[in-house]
Structure 1
Amino acid sequence: MIDHRIVQESPADQLLREYRPDASFFFSSPERTILAKGVFAAVSEAEGCNQMENLAQRAVSVLKDAEQSGRQNPIIVGAVPFDETKPVQLTVPNEVWCAGPLMLEQDVQIHPGPGPVYDIEPIPQPGEYIRGVEKGLARIAAGDVSKIVLSRSLRYTSPVSIDISRVLCNLAQHNAGGYTFAVDLSRQAAASESAGRKRRTLIGASPELLVSRNGLHVYANPLAGSRPRSDDPAEDRRRAAELLSSSKDRHEHAVVIEAVAAGLKPFCKTLDVPREPSLISTETMWHLSTEIKGVLTDASISSLELAAALQPTPAVCGTPTDAARAAIKEIEPFDRGFFTGMVGWCDSAGDGEWVVTIRCAEAEERALQLFAGAGIVAGSRPEDELAETSAKFRTMLIAMGLNNE
């Protein structure tokens, strides 16, 4: 049996360099870096259709089994899909290495040189996406929903194998301060071999923390309302100021904040929700941001339980949630998979970090399927929402060695 190891002194950049696609999990945040290998046990599927039901309790059961087998402070790692009827990918690894946050030099390339050449298939085509946004606006006008998040996908295929390790390193280098992740989905792929599915890896760099827990302290950082960055400093500042003053975007942001606060409130004895949003930026986007902090009523409430209570937020689904989910299934011509789900970790003490699975792709040997979405509210312009998704694709495209869609 492989010993379960947590090596706190491992350099974070070493963990990134040692990542390979057959590793079960890689995760870096402003707080820590985690590399996990192998699978000791997996969280079981729920008996009913809703795979989110009793998810935290099923995870606790697996962690207790791991502790009884002699593993010290085992952790759950992995991802949860957007569709609550689809199986989760959560496992207890055989080996875990931990380190502090990644500190990469921006001008030092870990994998220099050009990447592969790709063929591109938009799903749906841009014109069809615009028509989908128009359908979403019609639902809003009819009063069925007040917000709906509609996404599209780009499938990139290459004649040669894609170096996932290289893409992950590039994501980490270009998204300092965010959350870079890679999750091996091969257990699900193995279950789908009859359908011709190959090994898959969920990979990305999310700017959005769904929730974290450290002891009794809870932290969430919802994002909603976006603008693409500009290479021109003056124009970039103008876009940031316009976003911060936009009544449409501030309303969209407020809807998300209200939902996250309502989701956390039953678990917290105190909850601090700022009255005004602030701005944060990534290499490609400006976002409206609110930092929510709370103190739990009970130490038995795990980070996974908190995350499951929040997923999905209106930032990635819409509101009301059930109506928005139903409309998304009707309008979007593809399965989101793990896009707009959540990815992260939870240890046996309940501490952990869970991020919203955005700015991501599902990778196979010679293909990467990218995802990006935009929040649609009354007053949204379909052409603007298409442009927003194009800007959001750039996080993955830059990591792939591409700068344009």
Structure 2
Amino acid sequence: MNTLRHRAAPAAALQSAPFLFQGPTGAIGASGPLQPLPRGPIATLPDRIAKAMQHIPPSGIIGGALPFERDGDDCLWLAEQTHHTPLDPRLPPEATLTWSVTPEPSAEDYAASVAQALTLMERHASLPDPLRKIVLARTLALSADRAIPVASVLARLAQDASVTAFQVALPDTTDNAQPRTLIGASPELLLRKTGAEILSHPLAGSAKRRADPEQDRAAAQALAASAKDLREHAIVVEFILDILTPHCRTLTAPSGPEITSSDTMWHLGTPIKGTLKDPDTPSVLIASLLHPTPAVCGAPRDRAAQLIRQLEPVARDFYAGSVGWTDATGDGAWYVTIRCAEIQGHRARLYAGAGIVPGSVPALEAAETGAKFGALLRALGLAHDMAIPTETN
């Protein structure tokens, strides 16, 4: 993507854009005539993408979102042109909104679900291919006294230069005439493809950043030395290597993770680089093989997904899916849909999850999810400590 040397986009244009992504390497979004692709599950994605690629002009792009469930319907758009116009960081602050916030589930109920998952892991440890990791999520249901300014919220999220801020227009599931939008600030690259070269940079294992520099360094050092977080991270890297190996001529990863950060969180991350056997494979199809990784689901994937449906009271929808784009050559970038919210009119639902492995402490996992709400809450103008308890009693 191009570097950020373009006039900032006006708020009205962003509000109506079907998709837009802005990250460390630049911004890219839909422009010109566009049309929705037929919706469907991942099983039908190769055929649908092949048909769309026959009609995409050289300047065109396919972008949108894949849901968490592999058999769920995606939301993809074909745009005949792209723009590289960055979000305007100088958007004026909106008038203060009055909010109501409902945790679903509460931190206490979430911790109880974590404990239940740990019990199941222990009980099934002797079975063939036992459950080794599960990612459990919780949500915040927010309601404001007027419409939420999506463009302003997105511009605030994009001020963190280490993340990719994104906006995707979603299909409406109600009779509500107001648009439904997925926005977020993902720190995690699922897959980038440039010619035959690919890069995946999974994140697993997290710690909240601290305002005090000394405490912040200590938090990063503790994360780097955490046996629990290192085990959690290794499961994700192993999964991605196993999935990509049959499709690559070369595939490399360092022997251990590195520390990466956003403005609010420390993460363990591992850059995985490869060269595809078939460089013509569109990036969205490679991303769909990986999605969802154990970073947002668990291992084994199908068993973890089944337990997630049982333990989480709110369906994930597009949370923990993937958002991104593929151009006419098949190149593109796809990101894990985390640090995100679905917004419709004056309502929003925020999502956050934590990876559970043997040795996890339920109260600490609840606190981790609370910390991960921080970026969205600040972008919405809510005080984090007032909006949601980060620890159980």
**Residue 75 (structure 1) shift:** 1.1
> Deviations along 1:192-246, whole A, 9 cap, x unmatched?
345x584210000000000000011101100000000011111111110010011
> Deviations along 1:330-366, whole A, 9 cap, x unmatched?
0000111110000000012110000000000000110
CA contact (8 A) 2:97 2:146 kept: yes
> Deviations along 1:69-110, whole A, 9 cap, x unmatched?
xx33321010010012221000102542125xx598xxx743
Query: Could you say which residue in structure 2 is the equivalent of 1:60?
Result: 50
CA contact (8 A) 1:16 1:169 kept: no
Q: Aligned to 2:15, what secondary structure does the other structure show?
A: coil
CA contact (8 A) 1:213 1:352 kept: yes
**Residue 30 (structure 1) shift:** 2.0
1:237 aligns with 2:220: no
Cα distance, 1:400–1:293 mapped onto 2, change above 3 Å: same
In 2: Cα distance, 1:151 partner to 1:377 partner: 14
In 2: Cα distance, 1:41 partner to 1:389 partner: 36
CA contact (8 A) 1:115 1:400 kept: no
Instruction: Please point out which of 255, 278, 282 is paired with 2:235.
Output: 255
In 2: Cα distance, 1:211 partner to 1:203 partner: 19
Alignment-mate amino acid for residue 249 of structure 1: D
Query: Could you say which residue in structure 2 is the equivalent of 1:181?
Result: 166
Q: TM-score, normalised by structure 1?
A: 0.89
**Residue 32 (structure 1) shift:** 2.5
**Residue 305 (structure 1) shift:** 1.3
Query: Could you say which residue in structure 1 is the equivalent of 2:358?
Result: 378
CA contact (8 A) 1:29 1:180 kept: yes
Cα distance, 1:12–1:309 mapped onto 2, change above 3 Å: farther
Structure 1 alignment gaps of length 5 or more: 1-5
1:119 aligns with 2:119: no
In 2: Cα distance, 1:400 partner to 1:262 partner: 39
Query: Could you say which residue in structure 2 is the equivalent of 1:40?
Result: 34
Structure 2 alignment gaps of length 5 or more: 125-129, 388-393
1:78 aligns with 2:64: yes
Cα distance, 1:56–1:392 mapped onto 2, change above 3 Å: same
**Residue 158 (structure 1) shift:** 0.7
Query: Could you say which residue in structure 2 is the equivalent of 1:391?
Result: 371
1:300 aligns with 2:293: no
Cα distance, 1:18–1:24 mapped onto 2, change above 3 Å: same
Q: List aligned pairs for 1:50-199, cutoff 5 A.
A: 51-66=41-56, 71-98=57-84, 109-112=90-93, 115-143=96-124, 144-173=130-159, 175-185=160-170, 188-189=171-172, 192-193=173-174, 198-199=178-179
Alignment-mate amino acid for residue 176 of structure 1: A
Query: Could you say which residue in structure 1 is the equivalent of 2:390?
Result: none
Alignment-mate amino acid for residue 132 of structure 1: S
Structure 1 runs (4+) deviating above 6 angstroms are none
Q: Aligned to 2:110, what secondary structure does the other structure show?
A: helix
Q: TM-score, normalised by structure 2?
A: 0.91
Q: Aligned to 1:210, what secondary structure does the other structure show?
A: strand
Cα distance, 1:13–1:150 mapped onto 2, change above 3 Å: farther
CA contact (8 A) 1:340 1:358 kept: yes
Query: Could you say which residue in structure 2 is the equivalent of 1:3?
Result: none
Identity %: 38
**Residue 398 (structure 1) shift:** 1.1
Cα distance, 1:146–1:166 mapped onto 2, change above 3 Å: same
1:360 aligns with 2:340: yes
Q: Aligned to 2:14, what secondary structure does the other structure show?
A: coil
Query: Could you say which residue in structure 1 is the equivalent of 2:127?
Result: none
Q: Aligned to 1:255, what secondary structure does the other structure show?
A: helix
CA contact (8 A) 2:93 2:152 kept: no
What's the C-alpha RMSD, in Å, of the aligned pairs?
Answer: 2.1
Query: Could you say which residue in structure 1 is the equivalent of 2:391?
Result: none
**Residue 55 (structure 1) shift:** 1.1
**Residue 13 (structure 1) shift:** 5.3
In 2: Cα distance, 1:9 partner to 1:339 partner: 28
> Deviations along 1:117-144, whole A, 9 cap, x unmatched?
2100110122111111111111211225
1:322 aligns with 2:302: yes
CA contact (8 A) 2:8 2:87 kept: no
Q: Aligned to 2:30, what secondary structure does the other structure show?
A: strand
> Deviations along 1:236-265, whole A, 9 cap, x unmatched?
111100100111111110000011111111
Q: Aligned to 1:224, what secondary structure does the other structure show?
A: strand
**Residue 298 (structure 1) shift:** 1.4
Counting matched residue pairs gives 380
1:25 aligns with 2:19: yes
CA contact (8 A) 1:303 1:352 kept: yes
